[in-house]
Amino acid sequence: MIGLRVEGLAHVYLAGAVRALDGVDLEIGPGELVALVGQNGSGKSTLVRHLNGLLRPTEGRVWVDGVDAAGRTVAQLARLVGSVFQDPDRQIFAGSVRAEVEFGPRNLGLAGTQLRAAVAEALAAVGLDGQEDANPFDLGDTRRKLLTLASVLAMGTPVLVLDEPTTGQDARGMGLVRAVIAAAHGAGRTIIAVSHDMSFVADDFDRIIVMSAGRVILDGAPEEVFAEEQWPLLASTFLEPPLAARVGARLGLGSTPADAALIRALADRGQQLDGKGAKPPHQPT
Amino acid sequence: MACSPGSHETCTDTVLSLRGVSYRYAGATDPAIRDVDLTLQDGELLGIVGASEAGKTTLCLVAAGLAPRTIRGSLSGTVHLDGEDAASLQMHELAARIGICFQRPWTQLSGVCETVFEEVAFGPMNLGVPRQETLARTDEALTALAITDVASRDPARLSGGQMQLVAIAGLLAMEPAHLVLDEPTAQLDPAGTRLVADALARLAANGASILIAEQRTDLLAALCSRIIVLQAGRVIRDGPTVEVLTDPELPRQGVPETSAGRLRRLATEAGIATELLDQALD
């Protein structure tokens, strides 16, 4: 179980003067379940690429497991922080599904039955078991994306970084991704996911960090971040609370950004009405 | 002019028609789409949904005339565009009539333009649109998708979402009569998604016919009047948006529910009367 901390983190890509990150301070504890949201170009992907050393700070520091990441190589950080890219084609390189998933854990020193078990478990988690011999490039886009998730899962890193894991997933893929995240969280791994899907982050994450123009502008539980008083701030960076939050506010049920929270609040409201002897909307005849 | 079944070759209202279309990629044993019959009317926005690998991308490529023209495979059945056999059209004739937006913007960008402005102007320039009009269309497209601030940046160095907006701006600037989009909002944030939806609605209002494959059923619910469902390469449903998207079978067919549909289902499953919810959702 390890934690992450960034201090005064700024990043300027060499190509231009854009400050993709402009002073980020953040602490993520061991086992936290965190979503990063924000407009395109707000710095989410740039931030997470600092966590495993793919990018190095222009200013500021990144601490992984209490140690300054500046003193560690990407290979050392990769044992701690597993990262799934947004675009699977920038990650996949092997000629078979098995070889692709074996690569990571093998480089961490796994071999023999241990390696086979890690690969089998990861492939089963994303529903790709039985397709070990397929060429990754013969798989459709969404299966390729699930494959990259399996490759990183198999490494068993204490931290998992997922860049837009649900993009382009159909109903089944969405269910698989959600189950993978819940299981990894249940196993005590720290999860950091970048997403544009506000319902997904409100339903499945404990903490939401909102970024805008390279800074963190909101950080809290879903019901805090999506509370009505924050809507103007969210709108200023073109974010919209999930439908459940808007319905909850419209019905005066408080902040209910997660589907489950809204359903609970609706059920409570129904019971209150019954308790007061109020007439339910439709009496059975 | 009234369109009678089977007379699509001469019908002016039907702009795109597929009859008994199957497509098998070179080297594949099974066709990716089978026996697809589909018509698209002038100004119509038609949504395509389906599980991953149900054939949505293939249908897009076939409808845009790119498969088998640029992607090896065998096509059976007929594809008619504006009443002409798509196979008989030259590539430049096709490009002037029908635009296509690929799923991944980095495969769409020309790779030869140094700035976003040039990239967006690339399409109309190559269609021979006069210089002044090309500049005006480029400005308009950049403004419509709110990317004027990146006009002088290198398109290859943008974020995934910004790149996707640039690719779509390039299509808007070509002012295609017909447009096929394969998950155009996959990389986009909610604001970008809304800008694209608005731009597509405006195009359709101006008479363009649009075919759009998407997993985001919320977007299709807001945009399309009609939706088809693909399963294992076949069209298993073709109907009005509301009917198709409220079908309880849809998740079993691999299609994500709309947000409103999901809330209604969860409320029903929890035994809660949906009247309150329905009021708030209207």
CB within 8 Å of A10: residues ≥ 6 apart: A19, A21, A22, A23, A24, A57, A58, A59, A60, A214
Task: Give A82-117 pLDDT, tens digit per residue.
Answer: 999 887 878 888 899 999 999 999 999 999 999 999
Tell which residue, A206, A203, A189, A183, has the closest CA to residue A245: A203
Confidence at residue A284, expressed as pLDDT on a 0 to 100 scale: 47
Query: Which of A65-69, A154-158, B95-99, B132-136 has the lowest average pLDDT?
Result: B95-99
Confidence class for position A142, pLDDT limits 50, 70, 90: confident
The answer on pLDDT for B270 being more than 70 is yes
Confidence at residue B3, expressed as pLDDT on a 0 to 100 scale: 46
Instruction: Specify the higher pLDDT residue, B190 or A6.
Output: A6
Q: CB contact, 8 Å: A269 with chain B?
A: yes
Confidence class for position B168, pLDDT limits 50, 70, 90: very high
DSSP state of A280: P
Looking at chain A, which residue has its C-alpha nearest residue B280? A247
Confidence at residue B2, expressed as pLDDT on a 0 to 100 scale: 42
Task: Give B12-69 pLDDT, tens digit per residue.
Answer: 577 899 999 999 999 889 999 999 999 999 889 999 999 999 999 999 999 999 888 8
DSSP string, B21-56: EEEEETT-SS-SEEEEEEEEETT-EEEEEESTTSSH
Q: Taking CB atoms and an 8 Å limit, are B160 and A141 in contact across chains?
A: no
Q: Taking CB atoms and an 8 Å limit, are B161 and A41 in contact across chains?
A: yes
Confidence at residue B186, expressed as pLDDT on a 0 to 100 scale: 84
d(CA A144, CA A148): 6
Q: CB contact, 8 Å: A137 with chain B?
A: no
Looking at chain A, which residue has its C-alpha nearest residue B268? A263
Give the closest of A45, A196, A263 to B190, CB-based: A196
Give the closest of A169, A259, A267 to B262, CB-based: A259
- Euclidean distance between the first and the last CA atom of chain A, given in angstroms as a whole number: 58
Confidence at residue A16, expressed as pLDDT on a 0 to 100 scale: 64
d(CA B126, CA B128): 5
Q: Taking CB atoms and an 8 Å limit, are B260 and A243 in contact across chains?
A: yes
**Set of chain B residues whose Cβ sits within 8 Å of the Cβ of A143:** 52-53
β-partners of residue B48 are: B213, B228
Asked if the ipTM is above 0.90, the reply is no
d(CA B62, CA B19): 12
Confidence at residue A256, expressed as pLDDT on a 0 to 100 scale: 96
d(CA B267, CA B262): 9
Q: CB contact, 8 Å: A39 with chain B?
A: yes
Q: What is the mean pLDDT of residues A231-249?
A: 94
Output the pTM of the full model.
0.87
- % of chain A exceeding 70 in pLDDT: 94
Q: What is the mean pLDDT of residues A252-261?
A: 95
Mean pLDDT, chain A, integer? 91
Contact (CB, 8 A) for B254 and A172: yes
The answer on pLDDT for A51 being more than 80 is yes
Confidence at residue B6, expressed as pLDDT on a 0 to 100 scale: 45
Size of interface A-B (CB pairs under 8 A): 128
Distance from CA of A250 to the nearest CA of B (A): 6
- φ/ψ of A11, rounded to 5, equals -140, 130
Highest mean pLDDT: which range of A22-31, B7-16, B169-178: A22-31
Q: CB contact, 8 Å: A285 with chain B?
A: no
**Set of chain A residues whose Cβ sits within 8 Å of the Cβ of B273:** 270, 280-282
Contact (CB, 8 A) for B35 and B21: yes
Confidence at residue B93, expressed as pLDDT on a 0 to 100 scale: 87
Tell me how crowded residue B206 is: count the other CB atoms within 10 A of its CB: 10
CB within 8 Å of A247: residues ≥ 6 apart: A253, A256, A262, B263, B277, B280, B281
Q: Taking CB atoms and an 8 Å limit, are B53 and A140 in contact across chains?
A: yes
The answer on pLDDT for B181 being more than 80 is yes
Contact (CB, 8 A) for B223 and B201: yes
C-alpha angle A43-B103-A241 in degrees, rounded to nearest 5: 45
Confidence at residue B171, expressed as pLDDT on a 0 to 100 scale: 93
Query: Which of A196-205, A273-282, B201-210 has the lowest average pLDDT?
Result: A273-282
Confidence at residue B55, expressed as pLDDT on a 0 to 100 scale: 95
Confidence at residue A276, expressed as pLDDT on a 0 to 100 scale: 56
Contact (CB, 8 A) for A48 and A64: no
Give the closest of B157, B159, B259 to A199, CB-based: B259
Residue type, A240: E
Residue found by looking up tokens 């948006």 in the block: B241
DSSP string, A140-170: -HHHHHHHHHHHHHTTT-SEEEEESTTTT--
Confidence class for position A282, pLDDT limits 50, 70, 90: low
**Set of chain A residues whose Cβ sits within 8 Å of the Cβ of B51:** 170-172
Confidence at residue B218, expressed as pLDDT on a 0 to 100 scale: 93
Contact (CB, 8 A) for A48 and A161: yes
The answer on pLDDT for A28 being more than 90 is yes
Confidence at residue B277, expressed as pLDDT on a 0 to 100 scale: 86
Q: CB contact, 8 Å: A268 with chain B?
A: no
Task: Give B72-123 pLDDT, tens digit per residue.
Answer: 999 999 999 998 999 899 988 888 889 899 887 878 888 889 999 999 999 9
Confidence at residue A22, expressed as pLDDT on a 0 to 100 scale: 95
**Set of chain A residues whose Cβ sits within 8 Å of the Cβ of B154:** 15
- φ/ψ of A131, rounded to 5, equals -115, 25
CB proximity under 8 Å: A 235-264 to B: 238-240, 242-244, 246-247, 250-251, 259-260, 262-263
Query: Which of A71-80, A119-128, B5-14, B167-176 has the lowest average pLDDT?
Result: B5-14
d(CA A7, CA A47): 12
β-partners of residue A209 are: A36, A219
d(CA A13, CA A18): 7
Cis status of the peptide bond prior to A242, with omega within 30 of 0 = no
CATH of domain B14-245: 3.40.50.300
The answer on pLDDT for B253 being more than 90 is yes
- How deeply is B38 buried, as exposed, middle or buried, from its count of CB atoms within 10 A (0-12, 13-18, 19+)? buried
Confidence at residue A285, expressed as pLDDT on a 0 to 100 scale: 45
d(CA A85, CA A40): 15
Q: Which of A11, A37, A40, A282 to mutate to test the interface with B (most CBs of B within 10 A)?
A: A40
The answer on pLDDT for B4 being more than 50 is no
Token pair for residue B235?
Answer: 């069209």
Token pair for residue B242?
Answer: 């509301």
Contact (CB, 8 A) for A66 and A4: no
The answer on pLDDT for A278 being more than 70 is no
Helical ranges in chain B per DSSP H: 56-63, 91-97, 116-126, 131-144, 160-174, 190-205, 217-223, 241-245, 259-269, 275-281
The answer on pLDDT for A131 being more than 50 is yes
In chain B, CATH 3.40.50.300 sits at 14-245
The 3-class secondary structure across A76-143, one letter per residue, is HHHCCEEEECCCHHHCCCCCCHHHHHHHHHHHCCCCHHHHHHHHHHHHHHCCCCCCCCCCHHHCCHHH
Tell me how crowded residue B249 is: count the other CB atoms within 10 A of its CB: 11
d(CA A243, CA B104): 28
Confidence at residue A260, expressed as pLDDT on a 0 to 100 scale: 94
The answer on pLDDT for A262 being more than 70 is yes
Distance from CA of B265 to the nearest CA of A (A): 10
The answer on pLDDT for B135 being more than 60 is yes
Confidence at residue A50, expressed as pLDDT on a 0 to 100 scale: 96
Contact (CB, 8 A) for A45 and B187: no
Q: CB contact, 8 Å: A171 with chain B?
A: yes
Confidence at residue B8, expressed as pLDDT on a 0 to 100 scale: 44
Q: What is the mean pLDDT of residues A254-266?
A: 95
